[in-house]
Structure 1
Amino acid sequence: MFDSLRKKNSEPTVLSDMLSKQRRYDSLVRALHTDIYRYAYWLCGEKQVAEDITQETFLRAWRALDSLKDDKAAKAWLITILRRENARRFERKQFDYSDVEQEHLEDVFSSTNEDQTEQYWLRKQIAKLDVEYREPLLLQLIGGFSGDEIANMLELNRNTVMTRLFRARNQLKEALETTEAKGAVHG
């Protein structure tokens, strides 16, 4: 008799726990999907791949949702999942691009609109940065993370992250100055 009573009492708890998890997950997706997709797109530069990585990130997040103890850390948690998923993509495939193919891939983003041209130029310059500089810069610019948060995500010392951010910005500044100097000569 007590077993059947206990069983009836536990069923609503399981159902309410599942509903609670679903609500929490839905809130997470609504709040952060755009940011996660934007970061994925910056990492890979291809809409379809970014969508796939984003979807896989949220699927993995659903499976591990109980491990997220602090909802304030959800964005950093999802970015970490996304970075790992993006790395898995390279483990699964061996790429063999020629220089011509790379130029063609980059030209897909070109546009005649001045704002889009500037965005294209900036995106191209960021893509030229070494990964060790590009990744912290994107986490700061796109993700809005602090140096401490980036250090935790990348498992680096905060000073190392700050140095890499400084060097990334300097490299972009030098590229801009070089472009402006060429423009002045050709202009």
Structure 2
Amino acid sequence: MDPSLPTLRRSSDTAARADESVTALALAAREGDADAVERFVRALHRDVLRYVAHLCADPQAVDDLTQDTFLRALGSLHRFEGRSSARAWLLAIARRAVMDSYRHAATRPRRAHVPDWQPAAERAQPRGLPGFDDGVVLLDLLAALPQDRREAFVLTQLLGLPYSEAAERSDCPVGTVRSRVARARATLTGLLREAEEPAVLAA
């Protein structure tokens, strides 16, 4: 038996409990509980910020798009019925907000070169905590992935969404998400090996 399975199962159970808790907050917020609204936003703010940062090509727009996501969500909370987790529902809104911003940007001329998403993603990471340097390295590696594989990897491996919900967010079959994640892992593994080779040779 694979010794990693109990750890993975515990991690999955923890994520499921967290999703249930946040979904309960969303349902309470829908009924007008002001405290639940605040706790709902606070619980998911970091996930939305990170997801938007991974999708958005303009670091300056990340905070605005995150705020727009929550404004849209709170405005349509009365339609949320809890059939999916509140986190998956909110990330779908975040994705639409980013796509809408792309469409809006395409209708007006650009005045300057738009930098990539990485600086914004780095700002979205908590600093001064154990593992922060590893997080920055991971962001550098993720930058080498095609956008579709990066999104699938972020949704399932960093944000912990089930493959079925990641497929809904990405508007593609579950098998495609699994394939993208597998290819992303293979690419990341190869990049890590390449990065380690100079250190081994130096030693």
Q: CA deviation at 1:186?
A: 4.6
Distance 1:123 1:19 in 2: 35
2:172 aligns with 156
Q: Give the direction of change, closer, same or farther, for the CA distance of 1:183–1:161 in structure 2 (3 Å limit).
A: same
Q: Which has the larger radius of gyration?
A: 1
Deviation sequence 1:90-133 (CA, Å, 0-9, x none): 223356649xx66x969x87x9xx95443322101102210110
Q: How many residues align?
A: 164
Distance 2:134 2:42 in 1: 30
1:4 aligns with none
Deviation sequence 1:152-178 (CA, Å, 0-9, x none): 221211111111100001100000011
Any conservation in 2 of the 1:56–1:85 contact (CA below 8 Å)?
yes
Q: Give the direction of change, closer, same or farther, for the CA distance of 1:141–1:175 in structure 2 (3 Å limit).
A: same
**Percentage of pairs with the same residue:** 28
Unpaired stretches in structure 1, ≥5 consecutive residues: 1-17
Q: Give the direction of change, closer, same or farther, for the CA distance of 1:132–1:19 in structure 2 (3 Å limit).
A: closer
Q: CA deviation at 1:44?
A: 3.6
Q: Which runs of 4+ in 1 moved over 6 A?
A: none
Q: Which structure has more RCO (C-alpha within 8 Å, separation ≥ 6)?
A: 2
Unpaired stretches in structure 2, ≥5 consecutive residues: 1-28
2:155 aligns with 139
Q: Which of 85, 92, 102 lines up with 1:73 in the alignment?
A: 85
Name the aligned partner's letter for residue 49 of structure 2.
Y
Name the aligned partner's letter for residue 41 of structure 1.
A
Distance 1:131 1:172 in 2: 14
Q: Which of 42, 45, 66 lines up with 1:33 in the alignment?
A: 45
> For 2:160, what is the secondary structure of its paired residue?
coil
1:184 aligns with 200
Name the aligned partner's letter for residue 144 of structure 2.
K
Distance 1:120 1:36 in 2: 18
